[in-house]
Each structure stands twice: as C-alpha cells, then as structure tokens.
Amino acid sequence: MPYPSTSDAIEASLQGLVTTFPSLCTRTAFPNTTNSVGMMPRTYSFLKIGKGSGAARPAMLAVAGLHAREWAPPDAAVTFAGNLLTAYTGGAPFTIPAFTDSAGTIHGPVVTPAGTVKAIIEHMDLYLVPIANPDGRAFCMAAPANKMWRKNRAPLPPPFNPALIGVDLNRNFDIAWDFDTYYSAAAAADPNFSAHTSKDPIRDVYIGSSVFSVNETKNIKWLLDNFPITYFIDLHSFTGMVMHPWGIETLQTSDAAKNFHNAAFDHLRDGKLGAAYEEFFPNNAPSKLLDRHNALVTAMHDNIKDATGADYTIGTSADLYPCTGTSDDYAFSRQFLAPGAPAMYAFSVEFGDASEGFQPTPAQYPKVEREVHAALLAFVRYVGIWQGLVPSVVAPSSPSSKICFIATAAFGSADHPDVRFLRSWRDALKERRSTRNAIRLLEAAYSQVSPSIAQYLSEHEQARRVVRMYLLTPLISMLRRLFGGIAHNAN
Ligand SMILES: [Zn+2]
C-alpha cells in the first residue's frame, strides 16, 4: 500500500488484513454511507482487532482522516494494524526501526516486546477507523487544485449552491456546537476562535447546519453508542502536539458547576479570553481523570521522542486554539451526561511538523509513520496492559516508594504507566505470603544502590533510553505476564 493511499486502497487493505488474520480482526461497514456531491454513495468500514472476550475487556477507538488533506495518519494507522497483527502472529516484538534525523543523530529502534504485543491483542479490543472522511480524501487526491480540501463533500441544505460544499467534520460533533449560545459575544468573535470555527458554509471550518448533520460524524457517534469504548484518540496533522480535552475552554478541577451542559453559564463562557469561566475537568479518585490523561499524553510524547527525536508539545486542545464540536471533546463529554457511565479517556494528536505539513513527501512519510506508530503503541500498551491485564489494581502507592527510583528516573515520571505498574506489582507480591520475604530482601538490596543509579540516570538521557529499552521494558513485560497470572488466581 504505497503512501499516499487512496480511500479505495485503504478499504481494500482492511479487507486484506481480515483475510490474512481472520481470527484476530473483523471488518464492519458503517451503517451510513457517504452522501457527496457528484459521487456515488460509498460504503466504508472500521476494523476491530482483538482476540478473546469478556465484560471487563477495555476497548479503544482510534480515528484518522477526519480532515481530507491530512494524508499521513490514515496510511500510518493501517500499517500500524498490519505490523501489530504480524508481530503477534509471529510471536515477535513490534519494532519501530531506527531513524536518523537531519542532524545525523540516530533515534530508536523502539522495541515493544513480544509479550507486550501478546497482552495488547489478547486483553483489549482496538476499533480502528483509518479513513473517517473517504470522499473528502478522494476529492483531495483527485487534482492538485483540491490538495488543501479539509471538509467532507456533503451537499448543504437547499437551495443547492455548487460553491458551498462540505462540513468540517471535526466541528460537527455535539459539544458546545452552537458557539453563539455557549460563549460570550467577545469570545465567539475573538480572532483566535473565529479563525478556526465558523457558521459560514464557504469556510474550511464550517460547523454544519446542526450537530451530526452529516453521515461521517453520525458513524463515529454510532461506534461510541454501540460499543463499550472508554479510550478514544483522533489522529491529525501537523503541529507536533499531543493533547487531551478540553478544546472548548481552559480547564479547572475544583468547580463542578462550571460545565458545558450548565445553561446558567450560556453566553458567559470566555474561551481563552479569561479565567472567569474555565471548564470542569474532574480529577478526584478513583478515576483521577486529569492525572491519567496527563500520564497518557506523557507516555505518547516519550515514545514519539524515542522513535524520531521529535519533541511534541504536551497540552490541552485549547492550547492549540479553542474550538467547539471536536471529536475528542465530544467523546470525553459523554461520560458527564450519562449517570453511571464509565470513565472516558480522550485524546487528539497533531503529527508531524511544518516542514512535513499536511502532506509529507514519500521521503518524509516514514518519519511521520514512526511517530504515529510510537503514539499508538504507547496508547495500546497502556490500555491493553494497565487496564486490560491488571484491572483489579487500584490506587498506586506513594511515588517515593523505594523500588521505583530507577524506573521513575528512566521513565521521567512517577506516574508513568510502567512505573505505576511496577509499584502495584511489588505491592501485590508483598501481600502474598509465598513471595513476601523474597520481595522484602530484594527491596533491601535494591535500596542500597538505587538512589545513586537514579541520580545518574536523571542526568544522562542516553542512559535512560538504554535502561528503558533493554532492561525495564522487557522486565515490565515479563512481570505483567506474571502479575496477570496472580490476578487471575485471586478471582
Ligand atoms: Zn485535522
């Protein structure tokens, strides 16, 4: 499947994966076809990857290609699926090959061990929509004059005007969609907002005539409505950013009344113009939503940096620019409207940089592809292992715990998913009579040497990378298999 792939080639490649790996994935057509000016209605599909079943099994949805002109993420999402399935079937690691940057520095390889690949396939479900706007992409690729097309190709409500076609799919979701109601007049008119969100059908960022006014966004909503998805990521390009909600506003964690569905604040929300209104983002236990979103964006950032050296910015979507109707804010918001709904973790990533732009050349593409793979691997490692394999583990213990000095230094954060895993594993083994004494002896010996090694690691990035890649990641993968067995036996 040579980059850039047509929408037809992407659809065919999904069927190719199902044919090659029939026991590991399925392809399902969306309930709504496309409805585009001058094109036949198109049936398109999503892929589900996973082996096994069970009520506690976490599910994740990854979407690419909502914006027609962003050519790299859809291709990279398909090759990610192919590489993951190939690694699993071969009992092999998923290796992102080494990359030499423009300064001659070699990055990677980034190796996800075979045991981790196995846990990902067997302990979670991955729903993958590699091309969410297939007609937009087809139009965009059809002629050089169309190269900057962003929207879908839907006819707008009558009277038909050939100059007015398409909706910005990533403004059409049901989250603060009618911005004139949600925001103050000043916020809605602020150039940093109005440049990126509009009710004018001729604009690139047209929000549509209503929420979910077009079939492509209806289909994403249908996925979220009908499958137990609690992790969501939307893949875009290009500004090198790893983001979590909110995009509609700056956030705060203390005032639950300031939320998007509280009409008392209609016409009062100020976007990024001020702090009088900031959107509530709960961080209370046990979900610790903000902490866990931060842990995941950090894990994706670090894996991308290891793979190519690109140092993506971490932040909220509003840091890019405030906007309404986006897929990740919508996915995140649903948990607050349905009492008893499980926690939802939602993200968006802008891949690549200005030199690569919306359409990296075939020579530039392999770097962006590595970055997409690195982010997705960090994500599925978290979902498949941390949530899928050890769902019974709850609050991690104190960040100052002795055994984690080296791991914390190597991963750069006491809240990195792998560090939290090590802590939980250690604590579980300490509680078991058969392993308690061995763990205590190991801890005592470890505490003699770990502070000095941790200090060295904190000062030497290359050493941190080596420790992560060759020591801790395989060790953690092995421990997770062991821990999975313990969790199973305890039931
Ligand atoms: Zn985009």
DSSP string, 395-435: S---TT-GGGHHHHHHHS-TTSHHHHHHHHHHHHHHHSHHH
* C-alpha 170 to ligand 1 mean position (Å): 7
Q: How remote is the CA of residue 458 from the centroid of ligand 1, in Å? A: 36
Can you give the pTM of this predicted structure? 0.83
pLDDT reported for residue 478: 65
Residue 238 DSSP SS3: coil
Cβ proximity of 282 and 357 under 8 Å: no
Tell how far the Cα of 32 is from the centroid of ligand 1, in angstroms: 22
Q: What is the DSSP letter of 130?
A: S
How close is the Cα of 73 to the center of ligand 1, in Å? 10
Only one residue has tokens 């998007």, namely 260
- Report CA(179)–ligand 1 centroid distance (Å): 20
Residue 169 Cα, ligand 1 centroid: separation in angstroms? 9
Q: How far is the CA of 68 from the centre of ligand 1 (A)?
A: 8
Between the CA of 255 and the centroid of ligand 1 the distance, in Å, is 31
> Residue 353 Cα, ligand 1 centroid: separation in angstroms?
13
**In angstroms, what is the span from residue 324 Cα to ligand 1's centroid?**
14
Q: How far is the centre of ligand 1, averaged over its atoms, from the C-alpha of 237 (Å)?
A: 6
DSSP three-state, residue 214: coil
Question: Rounded to the nearest whole angstrom, what is the distance from the C-alpha of residue 438 to the centroid of ligand 1?
Answer: 52
70 CA from centroid of ligand 1 (Å): 6
pLDDT at 325: 98
Q: What is the pLDDT of residue 467?
A: 73
Tell me how far apart the terminal alpha carbons of the chain are, to the nearest angstrom: 45
CA of 297 relative to ligand 1 center, distance in Å: 18
Tell me how far the alpha carbon of residue 66 lies from the centroid of ligand 1, in angstroms. Answer: 7
Helix (H) or strand (E) holding 451: helix 433-459
Residue 479: per-residue pLDDT: 65
CA of 59 from ligand 1 middle (Å) equals 23
Please, is 446 exposed, middle or buried when counting C-beta atoms within 10 Å of its C-beta (0-12, 13-18, 19+)? Answer: middle
What is the Å distance from ligand 1's center to 136 Cα?
A: 12
- Token pair, residue 168, equals 């910005």
C-alpha–C-alpha distance, residues 400 and 419, integer Å: 11
Q: Is the dihedral of CA 129, 131, 133, 135 positive or negative?
A: negative
Whole-number Å distance, alpha carbon 216 to ligand 1 midpoint, is 15
Q: Residue 142 C-alpha to ligand 1 middle, in angstroms?
A: 19
Q: How far is the CA of 264 from the centre of ligand 1 (A)?
A: 32
CA of 365 to the centre of ligand 1 (A): 17
The enclosing H or E element of 255 equals none
Concatenated DSSP letters of 170-199: GG-SSSS-SHHHHB-HHHHH-HHHHTT-BS
Please list the pLDDT of the chain residue by residue as tens digits (491 residues).
799 999 999 999 999 999 999 999 999 999 999 999 999 999 999 999 999 998 878 999 999 999 999 999 999 999 999 999 999 999 999 999 999 999 999 999 999 888 889 889 998 999 999 999 999 999 999 999 999 999 999 998 777 788 899 999 999 999 999 999 999 999 999 999 999 999 999 999 999 999 999 999 999 999 999 999 999 999 999 999 999 999 999 999 999 999 999 999 999 999 999 999 999 999 987 778 998 899 899 989 999 999 999 999 999 999 989 999 999 999 999 999 998 898 999 999 999 999 999 999 999 999 999 999 999 999 998 888 767 655 443 333 444 445 566 677 777 666 666 666 666 666 666 666 666 666 676 666 666 666 667 777 777 777 777 777 766 776 766 666 554 443 332 22
